Amino acid sequence: MSKRDYYEVLGVAKDIDAKELKKAYRKLAMKYHPDRNPDDKEAEAKFKEATEAYEVLGDEQKRAAYDQYGHAGVDSGAGGGGYGGGANFSDIFGDVFGDIFGGGGRGGRGGPQRGSDLRYTLELTLEEAVRGVEKKIRIPTLTNCETCNGTGAKPGTKPKTCGTCHGQGQIRMQQGFFSVQQTCPSCRGQGTIIEDPCTSCHGRGVKEETKTLSVKIPAGVDTGDRIRLAGEGEAGAMGGPAGDLYVQVSVREHSLFHRDGRNLYCDVPISIVDAALGGELEVPTLDGRVKLKIPAETQSGKLFRLRGKGVAPVRGGAAGDLLCRVQVETPVNLTDHQKDLLMQFQASLSGEKHSPQKKSWFEGVKKFFEEI
């Protein structure tokens, strides 16, 4: 049975460049790969056909011979779909298997690797967050072993190249018409083997320690803000650089103030007399007490703004405001005399002019029931 034209097999033009040729083959290999088409003989045949075509066209010399003489110029070397020859199947199958199995096909050899980043949640009071503070924190971490300088090998010795994978960290296994890369079982992907491990860290290159760090918290931080301490994370493997430590701020709830961005909110209870007749109260701020004037006929829930008594943002800008929300308190634990005075006061109120919200509220209620 005559073979199909290799360009036709891959669905490409004869003037296609190497990059586009590889992309076309990779697309077909992904589509017809046996692992994606189990027990599908037709897909398996198309996969072999595409692989044979790319083995020829992916090699410059074989492609030139094929362009001049056709199949006769390459039949002796094509091998019926084998994986010899000059096409870089290591790269191709690295890409294909990376997509099929969810990981990269090519493993890097074991060398210095950067350590992991760490996160530490630091709780602050509102006052500390607003004004800034310096805190000392203790964190458990992995640090480079000082005895072996992070190599894991006994001083005076050094790791040797793995004889199984020859320093690649991975080995290639041929299974029929396709190959699979696996982590080297001898060196576990490191590419090197420590024959004489360090006695301090037992070959790990790192030691578990608890260290104390001083952290400067700038004024104006809020919950969710992070402070990066470069190089204070987990130690790197094989003498690699350490990761970073991220200190994440969490501000505890305050008994008086609630923060919203650069503004602070505070509930201020006032008596019914102060609300009706007006008065002057002392209210707290983060800088001390200030006077707040309450005008006559103040309704519950009204906000009074004290400018500049809020928070200066950590990223710069003017300080926000303190907004005091007054809450009119209903008197409790009344004596009989006080109750009698209130009843007399109630009787003295005539008309709707003394209750500005009462009329509109009853009208709204009436309208609601009429529309049901």
Is 201 one of the annotated binding-site residues? Answer: yes
Is 198 one of the annotated binding-site residues? Answer: yes
Is 187 one of the annotated binding-site residues? Answer: yes
- Cα angle, residue 195 at apex, residues 194 and 200 outer, rounded to 5°: 70
The answer to whether residues 140 and 209 touch, using CB atoms and an 8 Å cutoff, is yes
Phi, psi of 195 (to 5 degrees): -80, -30
Is 148 one of the annotated binding-site residues? Answer: yes
The answer to whether residues 66 and 6 touch, using CB atoms and an 8 Å cutoff, is yes
CA dihedral 223, 226, 232, 236 (to 10 degrees): 110
Is 165 one of the annotated binding-site residues? Answer: yes
The answer to whether residues 54 and 86 touch, using CB atoms and an 8 Å cutoff, is no
Q: Which residues are annotated as a binding site for Zn(2+)?
A: 145, 148, 162, 165, 184, 187, 198, 201
Q: Which residues are annotated as a binding site?
A: 145, 148, 162, 165, 184, 187, 198, 201
